[in-house]
Amino acid sequence: MEDLFLRALPLLRLAMLTTLALGFISFAVGSALGLLIALARISSIRLVRTAAFIYLSIFRGTPLLLQLLVVYFGLPTYGITLGPFEAATVALTIFVAAYLSEDFRGGLLAVDKGQWEAGLSLGMGYWKMQQRIILPQGLRIAIPPVSSRLIGLMKDTSLASTVTVVEMTRVANQVGASTFRYMDMFLIVGGLYWIISQVLTIAQTYLEGVLVRRYG
């Protein structure tokens, strides 16, 4: 298996960078979008809450693979053509945003109501109260589920191979097809996904420890 790994290493190196780029870009943009959706979900404006609920209903209620295919193969029908990497990034972003919004909403709702009342009693506007009181506490509470979502997203990037993105799973298929050693390649790539997951898990644990020491 070592000889196969060395043979595939140049391709795997680039594929891993693509996988990480897909995961982190989608997570960063999806976090911003998810936070806005979370705020919409707890808004006092019914129309805003309804729009956020419809978004969640669509993107949590349909498979990620279907969303990828719609973005890459379906949008060109309406004159919107995206490259494989861009299409995968868009699909992963809107998908993960739906789930992250619920993680963020859970964190925000976990903040004691007294904190909201304290902000209002000090005459703070809604956005200032969110910035100074609610969001710092709510986001800290949401770290464990949000971090787990990032780990899951890194594994979900493997579906980008269906729209011809050359990430690790596609390389495994390509090298497996040329060498007829599918099992070895899938084990190698599975090990790489496992390493990425473990590194992110360690980072999550470290971040939680820092926050506990600082705010505990």
Nearest to 41 by CA among 87, 109, 96: 109
| Among the four given CATH numbers 1.25.10.10, 3.30.420.10, 1.10.10.10, 1.10.3720.10, the one describing domain 2-215 | 1.10.3720.10
Contacts of 55-63 spanning 24+ positions with Cβ under 8 A: 55/98, 56/98, 56/101, 56/102, 59/94, 59/95, 59/97, 59/98, 60/98, 60/99
pLDDT tens digit string along 88-141? Answer: 999 999 999 999 999 999 888 888 777 677 776 777 777 777 777 777 878 888
Average confidence score pLDDT of the chain: 89
More confident residue, 159 or 133: 159
pLDDT of residue 119: 72
Q: Is 44's pLDDT higher than 70? A: yes
CB-count exposure of residue 43 (10 Å: 0-12, 13-18, 19+): middle
Average pLDDT on 174-184 reads 89
Q: What is the average per-residue pLDDT within 11-19?
A: 93
**In whole angstroms, how far apart are CA 41 and each of 2, 32, 33, 115?**
51, 14, 12, 19
- Alpha carbon distances (Å) from 176 to 154, 161, 164: 22, 14, 16
Task: Give the pLDDT score at 212.
Answer: 62
pLDDT tens digits along 198-209 = 999 999 888 877
* pTM of the predicted structure, to 2 decimals: 0.89
Cβ density class 135-159: b for 16+ within 10 Å, e for less: bebbbbbbeeebbebbbebbebbbb
- Predicted confidence at residue 214, as pLDDT, reads 64
